[in-house]
Homo-oligomer: A and B are copies of this chain.
Amino acid sequence: MAEHGRGVAPSVRAYESLRAAVLHGEFRPGQALKPQELALAHGVSLAVVRECLLRLVGEGLAERLPNRGFVVPQAGDARWQVIAEARAAIEPTMLRMAISRGDLEWETRVRAAHHRLARTPPFERDDDVHFSDAWAAAHHAFHRALLDACGNDVLLDTFERLWTASELSRRWSAASTPTRDYLAEHRRLEQLALSRQGEAAAAALADHLAVTAAALADQATPAGHPPEDA
């Protein structure tokens, strides 16, 4: 019934809009999120904007500087590398758990998610540097489906948090994205998971993430140019 934003509370509408804007990179990392402007832009009061910003802070999509307002958190190659390492430390273990606990329902959802991901074009017609929204959603859904059967909602919450942070940093990464064969990596993950090869699947997922980190390290360390210069 919620076809447009009609009927939805203003705070929800403003929150989702602002969240999408940050994730889409409409504000630069470090840029101030000015309540005044946002309130005007969304047609709500300062208090509502403040609430949205607080919620974004809770998700890691904004940072609060006391008495100095809110800014978009640091994002970029270095940050992405740290997040990829964290994911590489956590997600393989989750995948092992999921493979040992998953039932037929899980297998079915993994297969469905992979099918959608494989059939969704990664890029839109006029843009070959940023992934399409549809592909990003399918990508998220596939990884989530893989881990869903781990049976631990605390770990799944952690996964969601890291995924969000990862998406924000990827958006601001200077690293080249299209150099890898995501299709093959995802197909391999699906096959190893469905054939219940826990160790091999965990290793493949660790690689999937380590390759990202390594590529970023290569690009980030050589010259070491200052990230912010005034």
Residues of A at the B interface (CB closer than 8 Å) are: 9, 12, 47, 50-51, 54-55, 57-59, 66-67, 82-83, 85-86, 89-90, 93-94, 97, 152-155, 158, 161-162, 165
A94 cross-chain contacts in B, Cβ below 8 A: 89
Picked from B55, B85, B153, B155, the residue with its CB within 8 Å of the CB of A152 is: B85
20 example contacts (A-B, Cβ-Cβ < 8 A) are as follows A12-B66, A51-B51, A55-B58, A58-B58, A82-B154, A83-B154, A85-B152, A86-B152, A86-B154, A86-B155, A89-B90, A89-B93, A89-B94, A89-B97, A89-B152, A89-B155, A90-B155, A90-B158, A154-B165, A158-B158
Contacts of A154 in B (CB 8 A): 82-83, 85-86, 162, 165
Contacts of A161 in B (CB 8 A): 158
Instruction: Chain B residues near A89: list those with CB within 8 A.
Output: 90, 93-94, 97, 152, 155
Which one of B12, B47, B82, B155 contacts A47 once the chains associate, using CB atoms below 8 Å? B47
- In the bound assembly, the distance between CA atoms of A54 and B12 in angstroms comes to 14
Chain B residue numbers with a CB within 8 Å of A66 are 9, 12
Please give the distance in Å from A173's CB to the nearest CB on chain B.
Answer: 15
The CA-CA distance from A59 to B59 in the complex, in Å, is 9
**In the complex, residue of chain B having the shortest beta-carbon distance to the beta carbon of A91:** B89
Contact residues in B for A12 (Cβ distance below 8 Å): 66
Asked whether A82 and B162 contact (CB < 8 A) given A50-B51, A59-B58, A93-B93, the answer is no
Taking the closest CB of chain B, its distance from the CB of A206, in whole angstroms, is: 11
- 5 nearest CB pairs, A to B: A58-B58, A86-B154, A54-B54, A89-B93, A86-B155
Measured in the bound complex, the distance between the Cα atoms of B53 and A55 in whole Å is 10
